[in-house]
Amino acid sequence: MSEKKVNKIGILTSGGDAPGMNAAVRAVVRTGLYHGLEMFGIMRGYSGMIDDDIYQMDSRSVANIIQRGGTILKTARSKEFMEPEGRKKAYDNLRKRGIDGLVIIGGDGSFRGAQKFSNEFDIPCIGLPGTIDKDIAGSDFTIGFDTAVNTAVEAIDKIRDTADAHDRLFIVEVMGRDAGYIALHSGIATGAENILVPETKTDIDELINSLTEKEKRKKLVNLVVVAEGDEYGGANELATIIKKRLPQADTRVCILGHIQRGGSPTCLDRLIASRMGYHAVECLMNGKHNVMVGIVNNKMHYTPLDNAIKAKQTIMKEWLKIVKILAS
């Protein structure tokens, strides 16, 4: 990879939206402008790059967006970009504008596309981890995770009131197809009795015994938080099993769904998105190319894109032990 000087930077958001993406876009654009660079917004991720849906951005382009959820640049998943012809078309559109650097805000699928594109066309790329799942290694937090967890906590707290009033067992499903961080954090924060995540095998007998024992102790509230990617397929499937094994339990299901993706980002998400966006531009200017910008122990951390793609954030066993002890 050559370390040529970057003059024009394109920015895009790709994959699932996450609160704080707008704060990151704002930081990238204004940092680039401060250094005298030309900044370009690419609409709908890699699809916009292929369709030439690209426009030049100034400081006003990112005014009044730091508090908004979603992404002003829109987002999409592009099958065409997976093919060499699609990537060539995207490159031609960048070249005619002179765009010689990219900042990609998204998850590992977005980074995979960036890595392949950069290798083929020698365009330096910087990745910012924008995903509510917090499943990318190389950063303690991903943009959007804190907001998603706080949204889940607020909802589960309200469900707890109803569970308490009716002596019901509530099974709450949160997002997390391959990663259980939202379930883990929101479950601990709301005092859930059981938390089921994709990273660990669910012992259904142990779960039933736990719920039976708590019922005997006349525990006031029973909450089970389950990630959508749990091996039993989520809350509805789990509820069916529990109703058969514990017919005396008044069991209800609540699926939080896409409410977790939206909403105004928390202070933490705005701060890390702003910090990462600033450093993304610094990386491009200083020749640090093809890395993901993260924050580890409150310090900037740079992970090569190919490592960020391969490595996954793993749940520490200590967390699972804490869950078991605090729910006893």
Side chain identity, residue 172: V
Residue with tokens 């908004």, as numbered in its chain = 68
Residues in the chain, total: 328
Longest dimension (CA), the chain: 71
Q: What residue numbers does the annotated binding site for Mg(2+) cover?
A: 108
* Helix, strand or coil, per DSSP, at residue 14: coil
Distance of CA 105 to the CA centre of its chain: 10
Residue 323 and residue 209: Cα distance in Å, rounded? 16
Q: What residue numbers does the annotated binding site for ATP cover?
A: 16, 77-78, 107-110
Alpha-carbon distance values, 162 to 169, 221, 313 (Å): 10, 9, 34
Give, in degrees to the nearest 5, the angle at Cα 66 between 56 and 21.
Answer: 70
CB atoms within 10 A of CB 8: 16
Catalytic residue among 17, 100, 133, 269: 133
Q: What residue numbers does the annotated binding site cover?
A: 16, 26-30, 77-78, 107-110, 131-133, 160, 168, 175-177, 191-193, 217, 219-221, 228, 252, 258-261
HSE of 82, CA atoms in CB hemisphere, 13 A: 4
- Look up 122 and say whether it is catalytic: no
Residues facing 222 on adjacent strands = 169
Q: What residue numbers does the annotated binding site for ADP cover?
A: 26-30, 160, 191-193, 217, 219-221
Q: What residue numbers does the annotated binding site for substrate cover?
A: 131-133, 168, 175-177, 228, 252, 258-261
**Catalytic amino acids?**
133
